Chain A
C-alpha cells in the first residue's frame, strides 16, 4: 500500500518534470500558427522560418561560437588549476577553492551588472570577447569540479614512477595523467559549453546587437507575443541539451571504466 502511494507520487513528479518540455516540442512542428493543441498538422515551416530569419540564425551562430570559445578558455585554465588543487593541500587549497567555486553561488545578476560596469570603460561591452570572457569565468568552476572528480580515480604513485623513469613534471602530466583523465576534461568542457549556451542574464546586460545569443533572443521574443518560431528555437535548444547530456553521460561512463580497470 505505502509502496503504491510512493510509486504514484514519484511517477507524478517525474511527469511534472517532463511535461512542459514534452508539451512545447511538438508545437514547434505544427502546420498551423497557434500555440495549443490539437495540432492542425505537422510541418517544418517554423524551423524553415528559424533558419531563414536574420533574428534567429545569427543568434544560433553566436551561441555556438561564443560557447565553444568560452569552453576552450575555461578548459585551458581549469584543467591545470584542478591538477594544482589536487596536488595542493591546506590553506592554499581551501582559499583557491573558495575563489574558483564563487561563480557557482554568486547570483548571476550581480555578475552581469558588475561586468557591465567594469567592461564599459575598457571597451568590452557589446563585444564577442567580453561575452566569451564572462562565460568562461562562469564555466570554469564546472571544469575544475569535473576534472577534480576524475582525478580522484588517478593514482599519484604513477607520477612518481614517471619521475623515476626520468620524465619531467610536464611530460609526466601530459603522457601519464592527462590520457587517463581525458574523459573528465572533455566532460568539463561540455559543462562549460552548456553553461554558456544556457546563460541569458549576463548576455542580456553586456551584449550588443552583434552578440545576441539564442537564449537572449528567446528572452526578448518572450516579452512580446510568443511566436511559433520561438517554439522552434526552443526545440533547437532542447536538441542541443539532449546531445550535450548524452555526451557527458558517455564521457562519464568512459571515465569510470578507465578508473575501474
Chain B
C-alpha cells in the first residue's frame, strides 16, 4: 500500500504538468468542435425566440423585434468597448451562410435609427435576405451553447432550418476528399516504406558484423536529423534549379527542367524518406528475434522456399510488420510541414486544414472538428497497435 502511494506521488508531478499543458488545452480546443459561443451571447433574445420556431416558414414579428433589440444593444456595446461583437458573430454566421459578413453589420447600422411600423417591415426593407428561412436557420444553428454545425461541416454534411441533415452542396464539400486524400497518402507512404524497409531490415538483421552496423547507421543518422532539414534537402534536390534537374540537364538528358516539386510525387517521396526508419527499426527487432531454425525445419520437411516463407517466416513476422506499418501510418496522417513545403494545393492533408482554419480564417470550431476527425483516425490505429504490439514495451521502436 505504501509502495503504491509512493509510486503515485512520484508520477504525480509529470501527470499534473501534462494535464495542464497537454490534456486540458487539447480538451478545451476539441470542445469547440461541439459548441458555439460567438452568436448566442450577442443575439440572446433572437436565439431564445427561435428556440420554439418550427423552421419551415419565416418567423413571426416577435423574433424580428428580438433581433432589432439585440442588434441595438450589441452595437452600443461595440461602440463603447470596441469589443467587435457584431463582426465576430457575423464571421461565424458567414461560415454557415455566405453574405452574413455584410448583412449583419449593415442591418445593425440601419436598424439603430428609430422606425415606424413593424420590425419585420423595417428589416425586410433593409435586406430581402431576412425573408429567407435559411437566414434564420443559420442564426438558430449558431445559437449554441451546443452545436453540431462544425462536426457536420467537417463531414461535408449540413442541417437545414427544419432540422433535416443532407449532403453539403458540391462546391462546399471538400473535407471528405481531404480525409480520403490524407488516408490515401498515408497508406501509399506506408506501403512504400514496407517495400523498401523489408530488404534493408532483413540485411541489417542477418548480415552481421560491420556491414550490419554500417547499414544500421544509415538508418539512424537520418532518423536523428531534423524533419525540416530533411524536407529542405528534398527541396534542394527537386526544385526547378535543383540538383537533380541540373544533373539531368548537364548530362544532356533533358532540355527544360522537370516539374519534380509541388506535386504528390515529391510529398510521398519525402514522407517515405522521413518515416522509413520507423518501419526499419521494428522490422529489424522482429527479424532478429526470428529463430533461423524454423524455416530450415520447414525446408527439411520438404517445403519449397516460397512455401516456407509464406507459411513459417511471414506469420512469425506479422506482429512486427503490423507494428511498423501502424507506426508509419499514424505519423503520416498528421504530417504538416512536408506537404506544406513540397506539395501543391491538392496535396495538403488534414493537418494543413486544421492550421489554416485556426489561424488564417480564425474558425476555431471547424479547426477543432477537423482535429477530432484526425484524432479519431489516429486513435483507431493506436487501438489496433495496442492489440498487435501490446503497450508493455513502448520503447521497443
Contacts and interface: CB of A to CB of B under 8 A. Distances in A.
Contacts, number: 267
A194 interface: yes
B219 to A, nearest CB: 6
Interface string B207-244: 00000000100111110111111111111110101110
A5 to B, nearest CB: 8
Nearest to B364: A117
B14 A107 contact: no
Contacts of B304: none
A113 B334 contact: no
Interface string B156-169: 00000000000000
Contact of A78 (B14, B225, B277, B336): B14
Contacts of B233: 20-21, 23-24, 234
Given A84-B7, A111-B22, A145-B394, A35 B230 contact: no
Interface string A65-102: 00000000000011011011101100010101111111
Interface residues of B, number: 82
Given A110-B26, A200-B337, A215-B228, A16 B241 contact: no
Contacts of B242: 35-36
Nearest to A245: B224
A149 B242 CA distance: 43
Interface string A36-56: 110000000000000000000
Given A37-B246, A85-B7, A234-B229, A110 B29 contact: yes
Contact of B374 (A15, A87, A99, A110): A110
A181 interface: no
Contact of A108 (B6, B10, B228, B334): B334
A144 interface: yes
A241 B224 contact: yes
**Chain B interface main SS type:** helix
Contacts of A27: 236, 243
B231 A114 contact: no
Nearest to B372: A110
Contacts of B243: 23, 27, 35-37
Given A107-B351, A113-B358, A201-B337, A97 B394 contact: yes
Q: How large is the interface on A (under 10, 10 to 19, 20 to 34, 35 or more residues)?
A: 35 or more
A115 interface: yes
B114 interface: no
B273 A81 contact: no
Interface in A123-159: 133-134, 136-137, 140, 144-146, 148-149
Interface of A: 6-7, 9-11, 13-18, 20-21, 23-24, 27, 34-37, 77-78, 80-81, 83-85, 87-88, 92, 94, 96-103, 105-119, 133-134, 136-137, 140, 144-146, 148-149, 169, 194, 197-198, 200-201, 205, 215, 218-219, 222-223, 226, 230-231, 234, 237-238, 241-242, 244-245
